Amino acid sequence: MPAQLWLDAKFGVMAEVPLMVNRPQFAAATRWFRERKPPENLLFRSDSLNVSLFNCRFSRFSDGTYVGVGRIRAGEAVLHERAGAIDEPLIVTSLSSVIDGLADWTGMTSVQWESEMVPGDLGRRKRRVVYTVEPRDGMTWLQGEARMSLTTDWRHDQPGGRGIYLDDRVILQSRFRTPRPVAQHLAEQRKFRDLVTINLGTGGHFHQHHIRDRCFPALGLNGDIHGVEDHQLLSWSTVTEHLLPAAATEWDHVLGHGQLPPALLTKWAREYDNWKRVILPTASVLRRAQTFAQDKVLNASMSIEALGGRLGRMAGEEQTHAGGNRPTTATYFYRAIMHSCIDFSGISSSDADAARAMAEVYNTVKHADKGDFPDPMHTYFTGRIALLLVRVALMHQLTGKDSEIKPFAASWAVKQVFHDMQQNSVTVDSTGKFN
């Protein structure tokens, strides 16, 4: 039957089917939409492109007297025709993803070059440059049943003008011994993606996916199978990230690529579910391009509350307790400050005062019965500091070493926040309030 296929920036791959609702040849399709139960999987064919659609769901149906138009949303779409029965679930052994920020952070590249001066015409010397472009392997580590790896990849790019242009990328790959649903691959990849976001303080968007499995073989002109090859996958759960602009290449990572060996990546994945209440609020707000200062305060402070509860009691926190020995929100901020190794002496006489000031801003933003919103500058700086605290404290928790995070804690990326506060005359007084 005829259909139109397009990519929606919000909902992913959509298919629209025009129907003559009273014609016998459209009876089955008409039932799909009237009963809101289209087939789970469908195959779209055209002169230039074949697309396999999986986990299809009803979207809408305009049911007219003679003509109807039905719309379907695909959970996943592979830009290739599946070999074998289309009604089988989509399960694959390997999923590769391009993640924003990976190439710059890791420093991995597919390109190597050598330069030398060689004899030229009329006795003049000229420069010869030899480029070698090939995929290169990086780290490999285990996440439960999945084997994760970082590799480089390249393709021709055409920005215009003369010359040879390459898109030099770093790829995250998840591989299982037996085929698994795409959602299971993405669940493992999101664990690493969130680590990248927390560490860099930005980026971490999924910009592209490819699958590799025997159900999508490489075919010759006569239809014979010649092994397997990568095919692009579009998933409704990540498609909104594909068109987002790449993060700036100038960011301040807490840990360098060499400070996160495979053992720590495995540890992060193993502890991820236990620490989700700390990780997810901060990672999600860091990936958003446009956020209000209040959003940063709320998300980062939710992470700090969860973090503080897991860190346990610390020396000197009694100054932030209520009712004798009861921890407060300020106590959780204090624990995060102590665990981050960040020096607050430039804007506060004590860490406890700084913790009380930030907790008050958070509680005032969150609770309507606290009166008007805090001073915008206090909200702005509380959000910036709270995000730093979560990022540094999580990386400290991962490495277990003060020495690994102290260089960042003392870096200009952190000092600049306090410098900006001083420039705007924002400090914390001895009563634990911003002034």
Taking the CB of residue 386, how many other CB atoms lie within 10 A of it? Answer: 26
385 and 317 in one domain?
A: yes
Q: Which of 176, 205, 234 is the last residue of a domain?
A: 205
Cα R_g (the chain), whole angstroms? 27
pLDDT of residue 199: 95
pTM: 0.90
306 and 418 in one domain?
A: yes
48 and 148 in one domain?
A: no
CB 79 within 8 A of CB 18: no
- Half-sphere exposure for 117 (CA within 13 Å, toward CB): 3
Which of the given ranges, 62-76, 110-124, 127-141, 348-362, has the highest pLDDT on average? 348-362
How many domains does the chain contain in total? 3
Residue 218 lies in a domain: no
pLDDT band at 247 (very low <50, low <70, confident <90, very high): low
> pLDDT for 326-378, tens place per residue?
999 999 999 999 999 999 999 999 999 999 999 999 999 999 988 899 999 99
User: Quick one: average pLDDT of 15-30?
Assistant: 90
Residue 257 lies in a domain: no
More confident position, 335 or 156:
335
102 and 48 in one domain?
A: no
Q: Which of 28, 47, 78 is the last residue of a domain?
A: 78
Q: Find the helix or strand (DSSP H, E) in which 191 lies.
A: helix 182-200
Q: Which two tokens stand for residue 294?
A: 């209040």
> pLDDT for 190-221, tens place per residue?
999 999 999 999 888 999 999 988 888 876 66
Residue 233 lies in a domain: no
360 and 334 in one domain?
A: yes
> pLDDT for 30-74, tens place per residue?
999 999 999 999 999 999 899 999 999 999 999 887 889 999 999
Residue 165 lies in a domain: yes
Q: Find the helix or strand (DSSP H, E) in which 210 lies.
A: strand 206-212
Model confidence at 223: pLDDT above 70: no
User: Quick one: average pLDDT of 150-161?
Assistant: 81
Cα gap 356→328, rounded to integer Å: 9
Residue 224 lies in a domain: no
190 and 98 in one domain?
A: yes
Cα gap 243→183, rounded to integer Å: 20
26: which DSSP letter? G
61 and 177 in one domain?
A: no
Instruction: With CA atoms as reference, report the closest residue to 73 among 87, 89, 62, 57.
Output: 57
Cα gap 100→193, rounded to integer Å: 9
Instruction: With CA atoms as reference, report the closest residue to 149 among 158, 140, 157.
Output: 140
Model confidence at 222: pLDDT above 70: no
- Give DSSP secondary structure letters for 103-159: HHHH---SEEEEEEEEE-GGG-EEEEEEEEE---EEEEEEETTEEEEEEEEEEEE--
40 and 131 in one domain?
A: no
Cα gap 428→366, rounded to integer Å: 21
410-416 long-range Cβ contacts below 8 angstroms, 24+ apart? 410/343, 411/252, 413/252, 414/342, 414/388, 415/346
Model confidence at 249: pLDDT above 60: no
Question: Containing domain of residue 21, as a range?
Answer: 4-78
Residue 364 lies in a domain: yes
Measured in degrees and rounded to the nearest 5, phi and psi for residue 409 equal: -60, -25
Q: Which of 78, 102, 137 is the last residue of a domain?
A: 78
Strand 146-157 versus strand 165-181 pairing type? antiparallel
Residue 213 lies in a domain: no
309 and 187 in one domain?
A: no
Residue 282 lies in a domain: yes
pLDDT of residue 245: 77
417 and 283 in one domain?
A: yes
pLDDT of residue 274: 95
398 and 321 in one domain?
A: yes
382 and 338 in one domain?
A: yes
